[in-house]
């Protein structure tokens, strides 16, 4: 039977089951983030109003491969652009060798041109099947620019579960404890207070995001509906704010991800967006400590931040965050001939 490429039918359970089989084989003993967990995928897809952005490959009614283009608006050097986050590419292991992934990508390119996208962002991890495919079949035929290399910065919460999940050796555990990264993240008194996000904070946070400069920096633009969903979605996304003198002066936002591997499934808090310009070192630590406590309440084993450079990371390192030796490249697939993503130093966007 011929494989048909068409708009995704919305069956999140089928997508999750297909991805589970594929990624367990791909990553072996390493852990991988379950981006296809139905609650999380539903959150990602909530901003997708045009069905052309989600594409499935079907063998009859069976989903055998999938990819997503999550629509975004960005500002860069004083201009706004229509972008997509190209992500969640996955194919069933039984259908490999039939170039379905390449066909899906070609269909994405056709739709991106049809919709009028300026560029697509995508991340690739060296050594994995998707990165090898891009190097062999796509990079030499299309305009793909590397924006930056990113590495994770980790703060343990439950060191025992983290060690078991990641298979840490005794000397790695000893080094973490010697560094003090296994201890609770505490803070001294501050003039303001850290508290959970409330709906009435939305306009204040939108104004803070607008303060981020876009000179040689890619900054995601939110409308109120999408920002509210990003700041607070039950069981998926969370935000703490720092309030002083009855005004929101900063915030920190994260998403819950399950990391899955042969040793089981554990929940992590991935730091997505924050603003703390103008806060003192003690106030920044208080905001991080608020996230740490909330993540602990949600049974997270650790906090993870990808190095996107849109804020200074020194407060994280002073709070015993640890750089983890695992690297991914953020790339831009540029469609607009008048646009270049070269020279970008920071990216205000989450990692998917």
The CATH number fitting domain 152-325, selected from 3.30.1360.170, 1.20.1560.10, 3.40.50.261, 3.40.630.30? 3.40.630.30
Longest CA pairwise span in the chain (Å): 67
pTM (2 decimals)? Answer: 0.91
Closest alpha carbon to 320 in 153, 113, 93: 153
As given in the structure block, the two tokens for residue 49 are 């109003």
The fold adopted by the segment(s) 4-149+331-340 is Aminopeptidase (3.40.630)
**What's the CA gap between 342 and 340, in Å, rounded?**
5
Count how many residues are written for the chain. 352
The span from the CA of 33 to the CA of 45, in Å, is 17
In the chain, where are the structural domains located? Answer: 4-149+331-340, 152-325
Helices 170-179, 159-166: axis angle to 10 degrees equals 150
Express each pLDDT in 299-348 by its tens digit.
Answer: 999 999 998 889 989 999 999 999 887 888 888 889 999 999 988 989 99
Burial class (CB in 10 A: 0-12, 13-18, 19+), 139: middle
List per-residue pLDDT tens for the chain, 352 residues long: 688 999 999 999 999 998 887 766 555 556 778 999 999 999 999 999 999 999 999 999 999 999 999 999 999 999 999 999 999 988 887 877 668 888 888 888 889 889 999 999 988 776 566 656 666 556 666 678 888 888 899 999 999 999 988 888 889 999 999 999 999 998 889 999 999 999 999 999 999 999 999 999 999 999 999 999 999 999 999 999 999 999 999 999 999 999 887 777 899 999 999 999 999 999 999 999 999 999 999 999 999 999 888 998 999 999 999 988 788 888 888 999 999 998 898 999 998 8
Backbone angles phi, psi at 349, to 5 degrees: -165, 155
Output the CA–CA distances (angstroms, integers) from residue 154 to 282, 301, 323, in the order listed: 20, 10, 6
Cα 119 to its chain centre, rounded Å, is 18
Same fold, 4-149+331-340 and 152-325: yes
């Amino acid at each position: 039977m011929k494989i048909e490429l068409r708009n995704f039918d919305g069956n999140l359970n089928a997508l999750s089951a297909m991805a589970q089989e594929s990624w367990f084989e791909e990553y072996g003993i390493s852990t991988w983030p379950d981006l296809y967990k139905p609650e999380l995928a539903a959150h990602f897809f909530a901003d997708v109003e045009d069905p052309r952005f989600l594409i499935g490959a079907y063998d009859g009614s069976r989903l055998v491969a999938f990819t997503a283009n999550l629509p975004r608006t960005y500002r860069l050097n004083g201009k706004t652009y229509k972008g997509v986050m190209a992500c969640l590419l996955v194919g069933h292991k039984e259908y490999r060798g039939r170039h379905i992934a390449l066909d899906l990508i070609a269909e994405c390119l056709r739709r991106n041109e049809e919709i009028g996208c300026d560029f697509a962002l995508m991340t690739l991890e060296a050594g994995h099947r998707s990165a090898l495919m891009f190097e062999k079949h796509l990079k030499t035929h299309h305009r793909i620019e590397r924006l930056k290399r990113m590495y994770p910065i980790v703060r343990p919460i439950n060191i025992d579960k983290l060690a078991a999940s990641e298979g840490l050796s005794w000397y790695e555990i000893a080094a973490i404890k010697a560094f003090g990264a296994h201890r609770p993240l505490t803070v001294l008194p501050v003039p303001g207070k850290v508290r959970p996000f409330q709906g009435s904070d939305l306009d204040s946070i939108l104004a803070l995001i607008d303060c981020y400069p876009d000179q040689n920096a890619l900054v995601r633009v939110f409308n109120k509906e999408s920002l509210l969903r990003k700041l607070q979605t039950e069981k998926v996304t969370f935000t703490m704010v720092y309030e002083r003198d009855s005004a929101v002066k900063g915030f920190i936002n994260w998403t819950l991800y399950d990391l899955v591997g042969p040793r089981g499934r554990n929940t992590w808090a991935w730091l997505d967006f924050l603003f703390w310009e103008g806060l003192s070192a003690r106030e920044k630590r208080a905001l991080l400590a608020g996230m740490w406590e909330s993540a602990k309440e949600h049974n997270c084993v650790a906090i993870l931040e990808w190095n996107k450079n849109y804020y200074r990371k020194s407060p994280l390192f002073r709070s015993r965050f640890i750089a983890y030796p695992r690297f991914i490249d953020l790339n831009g697939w540029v469609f607009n001939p008048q646009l270049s993503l070269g020279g970008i130093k920071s990216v205000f966007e989450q990692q998917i």
